[in-house]
Amino acid sequence: MRDIHTITNIGSGTMGHATALQFALHGYPVRMLDVSQAALDHGMELVDRDLATFVDHGIVRQEDVDGIKAHITTTTDYGQALKDTDFVIESVLEKLEVKQQVWRQAESFAPEDAVFATNTSGLSPTAIASTLQHPERFLVAHFYNPAHLMPLVEVVPARQTEPDLVKRTVELLNSIGKHAVALDREAPGFVGNRIQAAVMREAYYIIREGIASPSAVDDIVRYSLGLRWSILGPVVSADLGGLDIFETLLHYLSKDLCNDQDADPTLREKVSNGDLGLKSGKGFYEWTGGKGTELVTRRDEELLDAMRREAARGK
């Protein structure tokens, strides 16, 4: 199997531009492919924005910006993007049929031993790869949004993925500054989204049952579990606290936890009413003025601080 020198990045939107930038930051030549020049131009505008943020926060030097951007070439031509490529990563519309079509087209141009990675957040890699001639070289590399700031990438094998491919992909992603974690097998939602869905289901249930307000739920998570789990995950935390304690907790509490098999009814009602959160001005919170922008800015500032600390730790 070939060494990885050249990257093809399919998609230049919110996730695609960020994955292209991550490889370019670490010296890889990246061919960014999309359906139109307008989409590619917008993608490069997003790259410029992210690089400016990195410069402002001392993560990238201004004198290095042009060199980093020079690693990214843009094209709407599959043949040009995929000729002699080594690693292909895709971030297109989260629909099975769309991804299958993109990958069938990519396979017709890419070398037979190129690695194929989809940045899906939960679609089955086995289903996506089912129309390929070489499904054994296909897997998931699930970057978390915002992909230029979040370190985690879930690497998920499809049913036919060669085991060595998972190891090589983890090594590649770790080499570009990410924290790649391999799953043993695929499952709907992988791991991160499954845990997130379980927490959100209980949070919405608590609000629906009148146990606590949305702001109280958020504060309780932020100042307890969120803080602890940002240092140690839930499984090791239980080991440290004593498994007997957690066994007792789950024994008496599990029967009272939410076990809904569908989306929360309060959540469904809000969506039906068009109350979608920040994007519509109202969700569980009222979003007026610049509150949403301020929160996103604060979130990104704290993520950038975490990036700097992690980079310093690695030196």
pTM: 0.93
CB 38 within 8 A of CB 68: no
The size of the chain, in residues, is 315
pLDDT for the residue 309: 83
pLDDT for the residue 314: 64
Question: Cα-flanking dihedrals φ and ψ of residue 119, to 5°?
Answer: -95, 40
Angle among Cα 150, 154, 156 to the nearest 5 degrees reads 160
pLDDT for the residue 29: 98
pLDDT for the residue 1: 55
Q: Using CA atoms, how far apart are residues 123 and 10, in angstroms rounded to an integer?
A: 17
Label the pairing between strands 7-10 and 30-33.
Answer: parallel
Q: Using CA atoms, how far apart are residues 4 and 168, in angstroms rounded to an integer?
A: 9
Angle among Cα 72, 169, 7 to the nearest 5 degrees reads 20
| Low-confidence spans in the chain with pLDDT less than 70 | 1-2, 314-315
pLDDT for the residue 117: 98
CB 136 within 8 A of CB 160: yes
Strands (E), the chain: 7-10, 30-33, 72-75, 87-90, 115-118, 138-143, 152-157, 179-182
Q: Using CA atoms, how far apart are residues 262 and 268, in angstroms rounded to an integer?
A: 10
pLDDT for the residue 308: 83
Tens-place pLDDT, residues 137-174: 999 999 999 999 999 999 999 999 999 999 999 999 99
